[in-house]
């Protein structure tokens, strides 16, 4: 088989794999502080499943995060839906009402309710760290994230840690 035909076949095989969900999902790890030691991992998210510590079994799932929705345990059933993240806001279950907005995520900051007012600022996310209020001081750092969580995953981590 000539080289040109091999390249064409390889390209079509890659396109076929990617079209059927072959894309990889990023992993996220949560630590109490830096440096990152594997045995000190508090939580991890792998393939949208948030587990405690360094476990990654569906049986250990605290939350499942899928398409901006946060479900209880290892589930994607509407009966287990807890929260939905859309339009930079975390809603209770699958609500669309302004009264059901629990938190707003705007430019690396988490605000209480449907607000971006400075007095409603709860957390700042910057340089792999999550900080209390408007601070980026090491003394106000609550935990450290290794990876790039999506906003819904960030909220799931905050819930698992009991911060929101």
DSSP secondary structure string for all residues of 12-79? HHHHHHHHTT-PPPPPEEEESSSS--GGG--EEEETTEEEETT---GGGEEEEEETTEEEESS---GG
DSSP code for 117: -
The count of structural domains within the chain is 1
pLDDT band at 41 (very low <50, low <70, confident <90, very high): very high
Q: What distance in Å separates the CA atoms of residue 123 and residue 109, rounded to the nearest whole number?
A: 6
pLDDT in tens, 93-124: 999 898 999 999 999 999 999 999 999 999 99
Residue 16 maps to a domain: no
* Residues found in the chain: 164
Residue 149 maps to a domain: yes
Which SS3 state, helix, strand or coil, does residue 136 take? Answer: coil
Please check whether residue 44 is in contact with residue 28, taking contact to mean a CB–CB distance below 8 angstroms. yes
Instruction: Give me the pLDDT at residue 2, please.
Output: 59
Q: Which residues pair with 105 in a beta bridge?
A: 110
Residue 75 maps to a domain: yes
Residue 2 maps to a domain: no
Share of the chain above pLDDT 90, in %: 73
User: What is the domain range of residue 52?
Assistant: 35-160
22 pLDDT exceeds 60?
A: no
Closest CA to 28 of 65, 68, 76: 65
Residue 19 maps to a domain: no
């Amino acid at each position: 088989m000539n080289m040109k035909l091999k390249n064409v076949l390889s390209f079509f095989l890659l396109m076929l794999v990617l079209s059927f969900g072959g894309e990889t999902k990023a992993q996220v790890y949560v630590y109490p502080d830096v440096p990152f030691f594997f045995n000190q991992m508090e939580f991890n998210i792998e393939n949208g499943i948030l587990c405690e510590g360094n476990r990654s079994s569906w049986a250990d799932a605290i939350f499942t995060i899928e398409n901006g929705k946060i479900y209880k345990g290892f589930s994607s059933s509407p009966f287990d839906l807890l929260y939905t993240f859309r339009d930079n806001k975390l809603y209770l279950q699958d609500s669309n009402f302004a009264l059901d907005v629990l938190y707003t995520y705007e430019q690396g900051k988490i605000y209480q309710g449907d607000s971006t007012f400075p007095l409603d600022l709860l957390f700042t996310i910057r340089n792999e760290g999550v900080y209390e209020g408007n601070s980026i001081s090491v003394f106000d750092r609550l935990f450290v994230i290794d990876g790039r969580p999506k906003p819904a995953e960030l909220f799931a981590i905050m819930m698992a840690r009991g911060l929101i």
